[in-house]
Amino acid sequence: MEVLETVPLHAQAQVQGATSSSMFSIDAVIALCVFFALLSACIIIGHLLHGNRWANESITALLLGLLSAGVVLLCTKGKSSRLLSFSDNLFFLFLLPPIIFNAGFQVKKKRFFKNFSTIFLFGVLGTCISFCIISLGVFWLFRKLGVTALGVQNYLAIGAILSATDSVCTLQVLSQDETPFLYSIVFGEGVVNDATSIVLFNAVQSIDFSNINGLIALKLLGTFLYLFFTSTALGIAAGLLSAYIIKTLYFGRHSTDREVALMMLLAYLSYMLAELFDLSGILTIFFCGIVMSHYTWHNVTESSRITTKHIFATISFISETFIFLYVGMDALDINKWRNAKASAATSIAISSTLLGLMMIGRAAFVFPLANILNFTKRSDSEKIVFRQQFIMWWAGLMRGAVTIALSYSEFARTQKTSAKDSALMITCTLIIVLFSTVVFGSITKPLIEAVLLRHRKPAVSDATDIPSLEDLRLLFVETGDQGDQGNNEMPKRSSLSLLIRYPTWTVHYLWRKFDDKFMRPVFGGRGFIPFVPGSPTSTADEGPENP
C-alpha–C-alpha distance, residues 75 and 78, integer Å:
8
Stretch that binds a second copy, among 35-43, 121-129, 284-292, 484-492 (CB under 8 A): 35-43
C-alpha–C-alpha distance, residues 544 and 433, integer Å:
32
CB atoms inside a 10 Å sphere around CB 321: 22
Residue placing its CB nearer to a second copy in the complex, 144 or 533: 533
487-493 long-range CB contacts below 8 Å, 24 or more apart? 487/513, 487/516, 487/517
Stretch that binds a second copy, among 5-13, 142-150, 452-460, 486-494 (CB under 8 A): 5-13
C-alpha–C-alpha distance, residues 310 and 318, integer Å:
12
The four Cα atoms 134, 139, 143, 146 give a dihedral, to 10 degrees, of 50
What is the number of H-type helices and E-type strands within the chain? Answer: 25, 0
C-alpha–C-alpha distance, residues 396 and 61, integer Å:
20
Residue placing its CB nearer to a second copy in the complex, 33 or 522: 33
Can you state the percent helix, strand and coil of the chain, rounding each to 5? 70, 0, 25
What are the residues facing 399 on neighbouring strands? 165
Binding mask 186-205 for a second copy (x = CB under 8 A): ----------------xx-x
CA 146 to chain centre: 34
Residue placing its CB nearer to a second copy in the complex, 77 or 253: 253
C-alpha–C-alpha distance, residues 471 and 383, integer Å:
16
Determine which residue in the list 216, 233, 311, 385 makes contact with a second copy, applying CB under 8 A.
311
Q: Concatenate the DSSP letters of all residues of 300-355 into one string.
A: S-HHHHHHHHHHHHHHHHHHHHHHHHHHHHHHT-HHHHHHH---HHHHHHHHHHHH
Residue placing its CB nearer to a second copy in the complex, 209 or 386: 209
Determine which residue in the list 12, 16, 18, 23 makes contact with a second copy, applying CB under 8 A.
23
Is residue 354 at the binding interface for a second copy, with CB under 8 A as the rule?
A: no
Is residue 459 at the binding interface for a second copy, with CB under 8 A as the rule?
A: no
Among positions 318-347, residues that touch a second copy (CB under 8 A) are 318
Is residue 28 at the binding interface for a second copy, with CB under 8 A as the rule?
A: yes
Determine which residue in the list 60, 83, 92, 498 makes contact with a second copy, applying CB under 8 A.
92
Determine which residue in the list 27, 382, 478, 515 makes contact with a second copy, applying CB under 8 A.
27
Among positions 278-307, residues that touch a second copy (CB under 8 A) are 278, 303-304, 306-307
Q: Concatenate the DSSP letters of all residues of 460-475 into one string.
A: GGG-THHHHHHHHHHH
Is residue 156 at the binding interface for a second copy, with CB under 8 A as the rule?
A: no
Is residue 256 at the binding interface for a second copy, with CB under 8 A as the rule?
A: yes
Is residue 217 at the binding interface for a second copy, with CB under 8 A as the rule?
A: no
Residue placing its CB nearer to a second copy in the complex, 405 or 431: 405
Is residue 264 at the binding interface for a second copy, with CB under 8 A as the rule?
A: yes
C-alpha–C-alpha distance, residues 535 and 97, integer Å:
28
Is residue 93 at the binding interface for a second copy, with CB under 8 A as the rule?
A: yes
Stretch that binds a second copy, among 3-11, 374-382, 469-477, 501-509 (CB under 8 A): 3-11
Stretch that binds a second copy, among 4-12, 111-119, 120-128, 433-441 (CB under 8 A): 4-12
Is residue 261 at the binding interface for a second copy, with CB under 8 A as the rule?
A: yes
